[in-house]
A and B are shown apart, each in its own frame.
Chain A
Amino acid sequence: MSIIVFTNFLKSVAHRFAILLYLVFALFPLYWLLKIAVTPDKLLYSEGVKLWPSEFTWVNFELVFTQSEFPTFFMNSAIVSSATALLTTLIAAAAGYAFCRFKFRGKLIITGLLLVTQMFPLVMVLAPIYKIMAPLGLTNSLLGLVIIYTAFNVPFAVFLMQSFFDGIPRDLEESAMVEGCSRFQALYKVIIPLTLPGMAATLGFVFTAAWSEMLFALMLISDSSVSTFPVGLLNFVSKFAVQWGQMMAAGVLALIPACIFFVFIQRYLVQGLTAGAVKG
């Protein structure tokens, strides 16, 4: 008996150790980013590779907030990502509802179309979109980015919203319709409140995706007053390649909104996907 207890103990120690390794691998790069950001410049070359600096400073963050354009980039990214998330969720909720509750001609083709857009090489449309948007005044414009990001996030968001609608029993809206609601009223008064958590998750996903998009932003934006965070940061890196502390402090800023959203949505991740997997 004691041998069994002992091997079980060994097994759980090995299990914890393996998990610890994964945790270290996942978090170490982010830790390093933070560490360099709070290391005083004068210590960088003497202690650059130490695990913890002997002195600690917030001066890099102060410089980033007061002396740089990063607050502007941050705001631009926040505007673009929130607008994209809102617009995409609205459009995807409507389409997801149609997929979930209606049978209609062309459903299979439209599903296929949405799937194909997911596998598409993005680089294929960079040049044509630039050529199409330039005469419309949508290059160097936040609105242009919102339109593009919305289009590319809609297909995935539709599948996500559809799976959330699938989880709501039909009887609910049917009984509302029997009571004299039109379908739209039933959707608005009964179904939407129930899908709010699903919509929140979709908002989070799309926000995170828009926040990290960089190829279109690089291609379409050259004016720093409308730069999003990736464009601003990459320009900063190529111009001031040795301002390590400031670059990393700016990097930490870019991390914040994504982390908040992620902590907030991560409980939906496995849950939602399990539902999807069971459904087949």
Chain B
Amino acid sequence: MNTLVTQPKSQKKIDLQRFLEPYLYLSPALIIIALVIITPTLVGISYAFQSIELLNPFNGGWIGLTHFKTLFSDRYFFSALANTLDWTLISLFFQFSLGLGLALLLNRKFAGRKLVQALVFLPWAVPTFLSGLTWAWLFNPIIGILPHWMTSLGMLPEPYNILSDPHLAMYGPIVANVWFGIPFFAITLLAALQSVPSDLYEAAGIDGASSWQVFVKITLPFLAPMIAITVMLRTIWIANFADLIIVMTSGGPANSTQTLPSYIFTTAYRRLDFGYASAMAVMLLILLLLYTAILLKMRSKLSNGD
């Protein structure tokens, strides 16, 4: 204590400066995040308990849990929930397995690898609204070729637009999403592959391991942590990702492609019912938090089991 008191004033000033310096560098980032992300989130949570319809401005005020009661009897909410699951799991499965395949192919040296890499990663840079439109056009029998190919392959009885068929429409945005998402997994997994120490492979080669054995015994265990984290983060990202659906089908036909985020967007953007949209968003947030909590719990159980 004594030393502190007897310190010269200028030293104290320097200490304060030192203490504040990192926060000074951080402050612009923290301020803009607090103002544009955190504040609106809290406001949004409060909207879930209010009636806010821009088309009906006099019908305002706090209404408690009314939105949540409506929500539990809204069959579109539950069909959107089921669609969100389909959309997320099918997209994720194909993005991941095709992405892993691509990463393994690119992890070998061959002539023109740099160029190939730039070209196969291109879909990732295509703006999502354009990916959606491009695939919607490809599925259109007038100017697109896909319905004609699918008819020749016997998948369709005649060339028509699957985006207007309630049974098949969801596959449209899913194909677009797989096309757009393969590069993400390929890039992250390729990076992880390149960090596998090469002496492990050499040792396996000397022991005469087959390439399948090498893949299962060396490559996969090495990639596992990277796979776990990217799959977890990507699941949440895909579940939240509504752009392709909004562009390609806007949730139709007959709500058959409506996922929860696209339903929330439509409710806020077309019906201008901000209260109900926020209530559904709160439900979505709760579900995502539950998912994360379960995963983290499973992970800690697994690592304890080791």
Contacts and interface: CB of A to CB of B under 8 A. Distances in A.
- Contact residues on B (Cβ < 8 Å of other chain), bracket: 35 or more
Given A27-B119, A152-B36, A214 B47 contact: no
Q: Label chain A's interface by main secondary structure.
A: helix
B138 A49 contact: no
Contacts of A233: 129-130, 133
Nearest to B22: A102
B110 A15 contact: yes
A152 B187 CA distance: 22
A3 interface: no
Contact of B32 (A19, A44, A91, A98): A91
Given A26-B119, A127-B277, A234-B129, A274 B194 contact: yes
A254 B131 CA distance: 11
Interface stretch (B201-209, B237-245, B298-306): B237-245
Contacts of A129: 36, 40
Residue of A33, A152, A258, A270 contacting most chain B CB atoms (<10 Å) = A270
B28 interface: yes
A186 interface: no
Contacts of B116: 19, 23
A155 B277 contact: no
Contacts of A99: 26
B105 A120 contact: no
Contacts of B288: 119, 121
Contact of B127 (A27, A97, A158, A211): A211
A18 interface: yes
A107 to B, nearest CB: 8
Interface in B230-276: 233, 236-237, 240, 242-243, 246-247, 261, 264-265, 268-269, 274
B148 interface: yes
B134 interface: yes
B128 interface: yes
A63 interface: no
A219 B122 CA distance: 28
A120 B236 CA distance: 8
Interface stretch (B3-11, B65-73, B139-147, B161-169): B139-147
Nearest to A119: B236
Contact of B134 (A30, A122, A155, A263): A30
Contact of B143 (A36, A126, A218): A36
Interface in A45-63: 45, 48-49, 51
B29 A92 contact: yes
24 contacts: A22-B105, A27-B122, A32-B144, A48-B143, A94-B29, A104-B19, A119-B237, A124-B278, A124-B281, A129-B40, A147-B36, A148-B36, A215-B243, A247-B133, A248-B137, A255-B130, A259-B125, A262-B121, A262-B124, A267-B114, A270-B117, A277-B192, A277-B195, A277-B226
